[in-house]
Chains A and B, each alone.
Chain A
Amino acid sequence: MEAQLLRRPAASCKCLLKPSSSTTSASLPITAIRTKLTASRHRRALNVPPHPSMLLTPSSSADHILFNPPSSAPSVYHTPFKFLPKSDPRRRANLPSLFASSTTINYNPDSTSSSSSTTDLPPVVLEAELKQKTHHLTKEDVEEMRRLREQDPVANTVQNLANKFRCSKLFVMMCCQAPREYRDQKQAQMEAIKNRWGPRRSAAREDRKRRLDMLFRGEL
């Protein structure tokens, strides 16, 4: 049994995993794709060798620690290193983490800290989150924005104003509100659209909302 396990080193199973080409980012780390054409070949390929710590090598002593936890979601009771308060003894005891999280100290002299951090990390989900906040709008800009929206809500849509003032749509919506008639008109249009929905579509929409509420309550 042991010899059979050792005959198949862990590296040989790498043929199973190929980076996916469907997504835009090239550096997507792990995306498993079925490459075997028949079920038996696929099953054979999926016969993954055990974790190295499970194997008894001659070098390891008779009793050693097996650390091979099953893959599972991390517990929220495990506080990440960054969230530990300054006074916590775990923070002082874990110096490597302290240095690794530091952005000022760089142990790799070849590359700058910023480039290494961008290359090592997985791709971002929302590109907008990487943008630095500029806070470039002044009080006069906001008043101008409100005036434009009040004047002609059809031409000055939220999107147009966001493009014009180089801010987010959320900020535009926080600043100004369309005139009452325009809002009522839009509301009526939306009601007409909703009335055209059949039972399936409205039920699906309700379910979606319910799922979102469940997610925020932590039930999903």
Chain B
Amino acid sequence: MKRLRPSRWTGQLLLAGAGSGGRYGCASRRPAQHLVALSSSSSSSIRSQSSAAAAAAAQEEELAYDGTDHERFPPLDRIRPADTSYPSPAPERALQSAKLAALHARLSLSPKIPLQTLARTLVDASADGNPQFNNSNLAFVGQTLINYHVTEWLMVRYPRLPMSIIFSAMQGYAGDKPLHQVARSWGIEPAAAPGGEVDPGLLQFSAHKPGVSLVKFGYKRTEAEYLEKFKWRRGISSRIVFDDDFGQTVKATPGSEAEQSLEQQDGEEGEEGPVPVMQYGNADTRSAAETAHAHAVRATVGAVYAHCGREAVKNFIKSHILSRTLDVSKLFMFKSPTSELATLCAREDFEPPVARLLSETGRASRTPVYVVGIYSGKDKLAEAAGPNLDHARWAAAMNALKAWYLYSPGENVRVPSDMLSEGAKPWEPAHIDIGEVISR
């Protein structure tokens, strides 16, 4: 049996650097205006058009000569005129980018990961629609790996968490918002606008034109439009089956709806008059920026996996994503904690919970404090302080329920993927709880 060499599978990530030959040689760069016609048109016609465009650009450059002595003051960045016609920077320019080299060094990435791949992780699908030059396939691999490792760790670390809390915790570790923060902490900066002439070390996305990238699992529900219209309830089981990894409904084909709405908007505005300059930082642009940053992080994880393998990506996820602090106890919300606790005690064959007054102060004053403990038989389950007896009792019941749900076998639990490394100790079965106390 031959040994698999994953590092050789990553040749396609460098396809533009390879120049010619191989399966992907025909996928040469083409100007932005021919994005849609790629599959039907032949490569020769594309090439001739691009060379014509380059010649025209060179003429324009000569015409625009402003008297600067280029011998004495060489331009800072030598960009071929053809590059500016591409939707994203050419891969070979990645080697000249100081920002990219700095990012590579700052993340302590392995030298096996070439700068071209790192440059590709920074090109969002909204900047370059060609999946051979944007990061959507790397981001898909990355999100799969991140979600797998986060779910596995949550399941072993907190075996009694209800599914809704697991969804929120997943969102808190691997959702768009935390990964956006990760990207910011890595020093990834967005370009003002995407294009072939910008530094490849900048994150390129378009806040106004969403790209088409499949970076999620999940089914589109047939009743999707009624869910929002009539506020239908989505049960947890159906969320697990149909929705994405965070329990959120999957929208119709990603990007298509948003593009349609944008086109409609453009049409309406076109009739009224000139298109107003879109203000930086409305809700849509912010969410687009968040998604683009998150996809860049996911794509980086995918690149680490593609070039360095399983163990490296596991360490990378552990050190950059799982190491973040999330207080899981803050994610809970209860409706009737006392009855839920009574149900729990009945299910587990404990004595029914009884609230007992541990101490109090200022009963006759304006601001009394009561400390109430919840007892089951002789054992105290939890305690809490409150401004009146009912609040203290409910808070104590909530604390008792949280103490039940947040049971953990230990700080450094072993996860199933630890068994994939060679010479691992035999696996001891993880604790699996019998299920949720009440169904939601």
Interface residues of chain A, those whose CB is within 8 Å of chain B, are: 20, 22-23, 28-32, 73-74, 76-85, 87-88, 100-101, 103, 117, 120-126, 129-130, 212, 215-218, 220
Contact = CB atoms under 8 A, between A and B. Distances in A.
Contacts of B377: 101, 103, 117
8 contacts: A80-B381, A81-B379, A85-B433, A122-B373, A125-B356, A125-B393, A126-B393, A217-B333
B402 interface: yes
Given A82-B350, A216-B335, A126 B355 contact: yes
Contact of A28 (B360, B376, B385, B406): B360
A200 to B, nearest CB: 17
B398 interface: yes
Nearest to A85: B431
Main secondary structure on chain B at its contact with chain A? mixed
A125 B372 contact: yes
Which one of B351, B354, B385 has the greatest number of beta carbons of chain A within 10 Å?
B354
Interface string B364-401: 10000000110111111111111001010111001110
A130 B409 CA distance: 33
B431 A130 contact: no
B389 A85 contact: no
B399 A76 contact: yes
A203 to B, nearest CB: 18
B330 interface: yes
Contacts of B360: 23, 28, 31
A31 B361 contact: yes
Nearest to A118: B378
A218 B330 contact: yes
A80 B403 contact: yes
Which one of A82, A120, A124, A215 has the greatest number of beta carbons of chain B within 10 Å?
A82
Q: How large is the interface on B (under 10, 10 to 19, 20 to 34, 35 or more residues)?
A: 35 or more
Given A129-B354, A218-B398, A100 B385 contact: no
A80 to B, nearest CB: 5
B329 A218 contact: yes
Given A74-B382, A85-B431, A123 B356 contact: yes
Given A74-B382, A123-B357, A87 B393 contact: no
A32 B368 CA distance: 12
B286 interface: no
Contacts of B373: 122
B389 A125 contact: yes
- Nearest 5 A/B pairs, CB to CB: A76-B402, A125-B355, A122-B356, A30-B359, A82-B379
Nearest to B385: A73
A81 to B, nearest CB: 7
B80 interface: no
